[in-house]
Amino acid sequence: MQDREVPAVPSLGPAERRRAARHLLLDGFGVAAQERLAASKVVVVGAGGLGSPVLQYLAAAGVGTLGIVDDDVVDASNLQRQVLHSVADVGRAKTTSAADVLRGLAPDVEVVAHRDRLTRDNARAILGGYHLVVDGSDTFETRYAVSDAAASLGLPVVWGTVLGWDGQVSVFWSAAPDGRAITYPDVFGPQPPEGESCATVGVLSPACGVVGSTMAVEAVKVLTGTGEPALGRLLAYDARTSAWDTIVLAPPPPGPPGGAVAPGAEGAGLAATPVPAGSGTAAASTGTVARPATRLAAPGVLLLDVGLRPGAVPGAVFARLEDLAAGNFPPELLDHPVDGPVLVVCERGLRSRGAEELLRAEGWRDVTSRALLG
């Protein structure tokens, strides 16, 4: 991802080299990567459960400038997972509490506190001037505002989420080279109503650390050009089993000829394969077809709709693809025999192909996928 390479500082001083010694010894990293970190400007949206490990690890790793965006204050209920803050910080602004910790951890880091609620109106102004955005927000409104502003600015976004036992991480970048440009709405479609939150369903506190630390790893790779960032991949974490699955993403397809987009056409790019460790190559998906949904499934076939509009397919069981990736399967699917036929559908076949491969990896043997639109 070095088309947007961060310029390196002229050189690291003796104290910086001593502090970063374990990075400098790291195969494939070295002085050049550390100098790019020192020159990097990263803005982190949210100083909560995910922002806490992200901010601490990026400061410790040697990122030169860290922006913190959060308009909230520390509450006692935050302390279960938001390890950047302490009991003494209850009632203080999270940006202030976070800045104090980061300056104590890495005195040379420049901390910029944005005590603001990021919205579509101010997102460009807040994110502009940074090299990378890390989105640890917990509402769809903020995620879509971040995505739209970052896309307009050409900024890569490291995104993550945790709810209950499950987490997800990916890297989105509207200006990615080699045909890999993909954004958050490309994967998850239009902005939905707000759903469940940690306040309503809970969250396992160490899972925030696992996902937040993974986000920090992705940020370092993007900034330094080392390793292979999760661009074009969605990493799904299940704290119940400590397993990571990978869902390969594809850029959104071009619209129909003439630029018209069929009603209900999905914007998602979830195209294939969760890849559990040691798994083989799953069977290829079927081609797309265009026929009425009511004629898709024969008797005995479970019709599973993973499209963007719940209830759009009469008689189908609806499931969000991100829920399937997290291991949350609808009861009708769990009650269906593993060797019983399952037909997965969506508007254009991208999400359904991803769901097909996911279900095969989970043990269902007779799964096919089709598109509702030709």
Query: Are the C-beta atoms of 58 and 52 separated by less than 8 Å?
Result: no
What number of CA atoms fall less than 13 Å from residue 250's CA on the CB side?
A: 15
Task: In whole angstroms, give the CA distance from residue 145 to residue 120.
Answer: 5
Q: Looking at domain 259-269+277-371, what is its CATH homologous superfamily? A: Rhodanese-like domain (3.40.250.10)
pLDDT over 90 (residue 350): no
pLDDT over 90 (residue 13): no
The arithmetic mean of pLDDT across residues 222-244, rounded, is: 93
pLDDT over 80 (residue 232): yes
Task: In whole angstroms, give the CA distance from residue 11 to residue 220.
Answer: 19
Q: Looking at domain 2-241, what is its CATH homologous superfamily? A: NAD(P)-binding Rossmann-like Domain (3.40.50.720)
Tokens of residue 269, six digits: 């790019």
Q: What is the pLDDT of residue 33?
A: 92
Domain coordinates in residue numbering, the chain: 2-241, 259-269+277-371
pLDDT over 60 (residue 86): yes
Sign of CA dihedral 270, 274, 280, 283: negative
What's the mean pLDDT when you consider all of the chain?
A: 83
Q: Which residues pair with 65 in a beta bridge?
A: 41, 110
Query: Are the C-beta atoms of 50 and 237 separated by less than 8 Å?
Result: no
Which residues belong to the active site?
198, 346
Asked if domains 2-241 and 259-269+277-371 share a fold, the reply is no
pLDDT over 70 (residue 191): yes
pLDDT band at 66 (very low <50, low <70, confident <90, very high): very high
Tokens of residue 287, six digits: 């081609």
pLDDT over 80 (residue 52): yes
Q: What is the pLDDT of residue 109?
A: 94
pLDDT over 80 (residue 302): yes
Q: Is 166 helix (H, G, I), strand (E, B) or coil?
A: strand
What number of CA atoms fall less than 13 Å from residue 124's CA on the CB side?
A: 8
